[in-house]
Amino acid sequence: MSFKSEPALKVHKVDKHGLGGKKLDLNGRDVHMLSQHARQQLSNAGVLRPSPGPFRVRSRGSQATPPPAAIPSVGGPEEMAQANKICEQMMRLVLQTDVFIRHDGKMKCSGIEWTRISVAKQITIVDMFDGICNLPKKLQYSEYVPPPLTFNKDYQCRYPVADFKLSPEQNDAQPALKIVAIYCSKVVLENNNLEAVKIAAVDVVTCRILMNHLVCTDSKNLVKDWCTESTGLNGYQDIEAARQDGYKVLKGWTAARTAMWNFIDRDTIIVGHSVRSDLDCLRMIHGRAVDVAKTFENAAKKELLPKQQLSLESLCRDLPAIKLTTHPSFGRDALQNAFAARELGLWMLKYPEKLEKTAKAKAAEFRRFAPVSQA
């Protein structure tokens, strides 16, 4: 074959013998260009590398980035099918963050790797969480989940009693999820009540992201403190700007609660950090819950602990060794915190002896250095 010019020859070499001017990597990223028969031959010869790559849910406006290097696949067909399914479900949320569902037992979201549970173990995990609920079984369907003793003084909110409702009863026509991790970022109103301005929820069993939305409280409510460092908000104008940028905004706590009830019922175990505060600002009566802060407190034999030791950041740092991040402009990521509560719950189930040892050590340390008035 002849070419009339040197540039034409170069174009031919690129088109016929390479990709973007580079040699095709038929053992790696360009393996999809081979026929099934050719791939099978390479695989039989031990030449073809497995390259599953992660499932990815791309954020709005994000640019495609190359996938990480090939990783060993420890998931079977069931894990692959489940990853595909939750990817499809999460795409509908139009998430503002990148999500990678990997095949090595991890899920990357908010820049942090979170544990996935194999399909074979997902049935048992429900019973395990059931065993560490903070209320006795007979009280779980009628009472409020109790707050951690350390945070008792912070529970000074006075919401109208008539606003509160029990979670929905079981509906066989629309089965709820078994375990859901939640987190709410809140502002302080003039009457000192807390109202949610961000809400996130995650299916603990599958890692499926259920909610990651802003919540616009009634503009008639005067906000005393927007808690900008954690919420990333300075006023109602920020919520409106986010809505115009494509973020999902729920209209008040009633809409947030209704959205939550699409996934849960009275039998759902809700996992969170200081979860009573989150449930109160949603006006939910739900006693079937695991508060990871209270679970840590119980492991310390209900001894007094400093608030800093029981913060979500400290627990994540001291137990699963995860460093949570705060964005300088957008504050704390509610979705990150929901995943963090989930991760803490899984860690506490897996390492009960380490949990008790660490909790007792923290309590003993506090006794040594606490002021006499607190001892």
pLDDT of residue 195 exceeding 60: yes
Burial zone of 35 (CB within 10 Å; 0-12 exposed, 13-18 middle, 19+ buried)? exposed
CATH fourth-level superfamily of 120-369: Ribonuclease H-like superfamily/Ribonuclease H (3.30.420.10)
pLDDT of residue 206 exceeding 90: yes
Cβ density class 152-188: b for 16+ within 10 Å, e for less:
eeeeebeeeeeeeeebeeeeeeeebbbbbbbbbbbbe
- DSSP-based three-state secondary structure for 128: helix
pLDDT of residue 31 exceeding 60: no
User: 337 and 198 in contact (C-beta within 8 Å)?
Assistant: no
CA atoms of 259 and 213, how far apart (whole Å):
10
User: 264 and 180 in contact (C-beta within 8 Å)?
Assistant: yes
User: 315 and 271 in contact (C-beta within 8 Å)?
Assistant: no
Give me the pLDDT at residue 269, please: 98
β-strands 106-109, 284-285: how paired? unpaired
Q: What H or E segment, with its residue span, contains residue 183?
A: strand 179-189
Q: Fill in the DSSP letter of residue 184.
A: E
pLDDT of residue 316 exceeding 50: yes
308's tokens: 């800093």
- Phi and psi torsions of 72, nearest 5°: -60, 135
- DSSP-assigned states of every residue in 68-111: PPP------HHHHHHHHHHHHHHHTT--SS-EEE-SSSEEEETT
pLDDT of residue 221 exceeding 60: yes
CA atoms of 181 and 269, how far apart (whole Å):
8
CA atoms of 54 and 48, how far apart (whole Å):
18
Query: Where is average pLDDT lowest: 14-23, 181-190, 312-321, 360-369?
Result: 14-23
pLDDT of residue 368 exceeding 50: yes
Q: Is 215 or 17 the better-scoring residue by pLDDT?
A: 215
pLDDT of residue 20 exceeding 80: no
Q: Spell out the alpha helix ranges (H) of 250-350.
A: 252-260, 275-281, 292-299, 312-318, 334-350
Q: What H or E segment, with its residue span, contains residue 248?
A: none
* Residue 329 confidence class, pLDDT cut points 50, 70, 90: confident
Q: Calculate ∠ Cα 256-138-211, nearest 5°.
A: 20
* Nearest to 112, CA basis, from 313, 348, 274, 353: 313
* Residue 88 confidence class, pLDDT cut points 50, 70, 90: confident
Give me the pLDDT at residue 3, please: 41
User: 95 and 212 in contact (C-beta within 8 Å)?
Assistant: yes
Q: Is 153 or 176 the better-scoring residue by pLDDT?
A: 176
pLDDT of residue 90 exceeding 90: no
User: 24 and 30 in contact (C-beta within 8 Å)?
Assistant: yes
Prediction pTM value: 0.78
pLDDT of residue 43 exceeding 70: no
* Residue 186 confidence class, pLDDT cut points 50, 70, 90: very high
User: 271 and 179 in contact (C-beta within 8 Å)?
Assistant: yes
User: 168 and 284 in contact (C-beta within 8 Å)?
Assistant: no
Give me the pLDDT at residue 207, please: 93
List the chain domain ranges: 1-49, 53-109, 120-369
